[in-house]
Chains A and B, each alone.
Chain A
Amino acid sequence: MCTNILVKTELEGAGFGRNGWFRVNRANVTYDHPFHVDLEHAVTVDFVDEAGGLDARVGVELTLESARALARALLAACEEAEAYESGARG
């Protein structure tokens, strides 16, 4: 809201929140003031169930560098997973 940097994506999956597992159907990604990590701005990722309550949320706050590392790790894992599923691996 302070930076106007907000990117949303639809997801299918589940997250483990304070009340146990819940359906995750969206990730809200921002670069804005974090709630906890001691940075002026952070990449924040909220995994949420849009139809769930306010507490159907798993949030992380990352440095820009960490967010890029996470993105690379996700892509690398996905590439390996696709190779595995297609039988090209192992």
Chain B
Amino acid sequence: MADTGSYEGMLAEVTKIPGHGGTWISVYLARPLGPGPFPGVVWLHHMPGWDEWTKEAARKLAYHGFMVAAPDLYCRAGTGAPEDVAAKVRAEGGVPDSQVVGDAAACRDFLRSLPQSNGKVGVTGTCSGGRHAYLAACLERFDACVDLWGGGVVMRPEDLTEKRPVAPIDYTKDLSCPLLGLFGEEDRAPSPEQVRQHEEELKRHGKAYEFHMYAGAGHGFFYHDRPAAYRAEAAVDGWRKVIAFFRQHLGGGAS
């Protein structure tokens, strides 16, 4: 709970760390000021790129007491306007899953290395970032994962590519941490049926998870900068769930 009598501050900046394969990657780091200890969250951006909304989301979690590292997953394609960078990556068929997982692990280790860290790190993202977060939580060790309407967790065999060789659902047995999933009933990627299949797989492997399906919401219902997608009621409730879930599994409790 915020306290109007308490000191409050935040640092938000771009820094560079060695990512997958030792390549230097750009990371947007948003963290509360003060000695901590603070839990960490790795935020994996959505398909439109390392954009304003992603950085805003990182600052929101930092306000609530988390140190957030949001890597530019597209930085190997070059630098420029986020739309130009994302357009290039889009034309190349996206970024390899293994590279994203490597970048996510590098961000986790970076957050843990900070003197204010409490040692716990979660991973999250929206859209393709939700899928990437789930993959990272299966292939690497995290303390909590939040999948925000990640499309492509369930994949048709014909959609597998060199960059996306395995459907994330097939890694479910390796999920390393509790999972929260928020989805829209009107979404098609993932569709309610795909969410149901994912849930069945989680049950089959005895994984700790919590899924919520919002009625009247489609894809991207947190995106207040996209009036057609934004659903205020679902977004308010969803953000509360995300923060509560990370607090429960990562600790922390500032503001």
Contacts and interface: CB of A to CB of B under 8 A. Distances in A.
A33 B93 contact: no
Q: Name which of A2, A40, A57, A59 has the most chain B CB atoms within 10 A of its CB.
A: A2
Contacts of B227: 38
Nearest to A26: B91
A54 B85 contact: yes
A30 B89 CA distance: 12
Interface residues of A, number: 23
Interface string B73-104: 00001111111111111110110000000000
Contact of A54 (B77, B94, B161, B228): B77
B220 A46 contact: no
A1 B128 contact: yes
Contacts of A86: none
Interface of A: 1-4, 6, 8, 28, 30, 32-33, 35-36, 38-40, 44, 46, 48, 53-55, 57, 59
Interface of B: 46-49, 77-91, 93-94, 127-128, 151-152, 159, 161, 189, 218-220, 226-229
30 contacts: A1-B128, A2-B152, A2-B189, A3-B189, A4-B159, A6-B91, A6-B93, A8-B91, A28-B87, A30-B90, A30-B91, A32-B47, A33-B219, A35-B49, A35-B86, A36-B83, A38-B226, A40-B220, A44-B90, A46-B87, A46-B91, A48-B91, A54-B77, A54-B79, A54-B81, A54-B84, A54-B85, A55-B84, A59-B83, A59-B87
